């Protein structure tokens, strides 16, 4: 489903932008992970809200982890790029 009005725009509007030390002049829209760090990992948690209580937040993270591994077919081995001993 698509919400036409919520279409991410290529040009950053008001609010934060991302700047990379390799391309200091290239200002980009902030990445989804940075948003999720803040919108799921912080922000005020209100008691008494209807759906996501404090206890549910971990559940959201677990769902996300499942989601990430499901969209990435190739799950890298924990030994990749390193010697197990």
Other CB atoms closer than 10 Å to residue 84's CB: what's the count?
Answer: 6
Q: What angle do CA 43, 18, 42 make, to 5 degrees?
A: 10
Residue whose C-alpha is closest to residue 45's, from 63, 58, 57, 33: 57
Q: How many CB atoms neighbour CB 6 within 10 A? A: 6
Return all residues near 11 (Cβ < 8 A) that are at least 6 apart.
Answer: 29
Number of residues that bind other proteins (CB under 8 A): 56
Check residue 19 for interaction with other proteins (CB under 8 A).
yes
State which of residues 10, 11, 22, 58 lies at the interface with other proteins (CB under 8 A).
Answer: 22
CB of 78 to other proteins, least distance (A): 13
Chain residues 23-82 in contact with other proteins, contact rule CB under 8 A = 24, 30-52, 57, 59-60, 63-64, 66-69, 71-72, 81-82
Judged by the rule CB under 8 A, the positions of this chain that interact with other proteins are 1-8, 13-22, 24, 30-52, 57, 59-60, 63-64, 66-69, 71-72, 81-83
């Amino acid at each position: 489903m698509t919400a036409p009005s919520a279409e991410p725009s290529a040009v950053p509007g008001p609010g934060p932008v991302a700047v990379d030390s390799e391309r200091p002049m290239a200002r980009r829209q902030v990445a989804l992970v940075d948003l999720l760090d803040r919108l799921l990992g912080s922000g005020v948690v209100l008691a008494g809200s209807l759906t996501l209580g404090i206890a549910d937040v971990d559940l959201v993270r677990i769902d996300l982890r499942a989601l990430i591994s499901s969209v990435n077919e190739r799950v890298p081995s924990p030994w990749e790029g390193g010697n197990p001993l």
